[in-house]
Amino acid sequence: MASYQKLVRFYITIFFCFFLSLSSSQKVTLSLYYEALCPFCADFIVNHLPQIFRNGLISSIDLHLVPWGNALFKPDATILCQHGEAECALNAIHACAIDAYPDVMKHVGYIYCTERLVLENKLEKWADCFELVGLSRAALDCYINGYGHQLELKYAEETSELNPAHTFVPWVVVNNQPLQENYQNFVMYVCNAYGSSQVPEACRNLNNSVKIQSTFNSSVEKLSYSHQVCYANQ
């Protein structure tokens, strides 16, 4: 357990140590609509999303996580989640974490920890993540007292208002533009959203703006997303 804690703390420290503040008016909005037990959502959160913390691009982004995904309401108004009751519970706990720890480094750190456990088939250890990332159990209290359910209703409404409607998760949106099956290339879209002026240093370090624009406009090899997403209504 001690070695696992050290490993998680190591990853989180690397991923989140470059966070800098920037006024929201200068930022690009990056929204992730997901569900907690979709393996492709977990893969995106653990293996792709952290790059914006490693390269410092998070300072130029308003990151917005929406843990609802493909969940539906049953006729009796209870929630039906694609991967069962455990997913409904973890979605609500993630919603509570976002509410209880509004600092993006804190709630993303917690969500990263639980999604890593999903990939490792160790979900039974999810409660350990509070200690692993150094957080109080406020999110657990939020879930137990039922507030997480209220937060999930809010996320359900937000997800239902997507235009175009999402057809799978992870559903990644940059400044209201859904990336659809090209979601793993989200950094390119974030950098391109700044146009030719005020390009963040992280984007210049990744590539010069001309090459980013060229790449953006070229035929990018897309994912075989039938194998990389969890479809809605399935």
CB within 8 Å of 98: residues ≥ 6 apart: 65, 67, 107, 111, 151
Quote the distance between the C-alpha of residue 129 and its chain's center.
17
CA-based torsion, 98, 132, 59, 202: positive or negative: negative
pLDDT for the residue 206 = 77
pLDDT for the residue 227 = 60
Q: Return d(Cα 218, Cα 125) in angstroms, integer.
A: 44
Which residues in the chain come in under a pLDDT of 50?
14-24, 209-210, 212-221, 224-226
Spatial contact of 70 and 233, defined as CB atoms under 8 Å apart: yes
Spatial contact of 26 and 198, defined as CB atoms under 8 Å apart: yes
pLDDT for the residue 201 = 86
Amino acid at position 198, single letter: Q
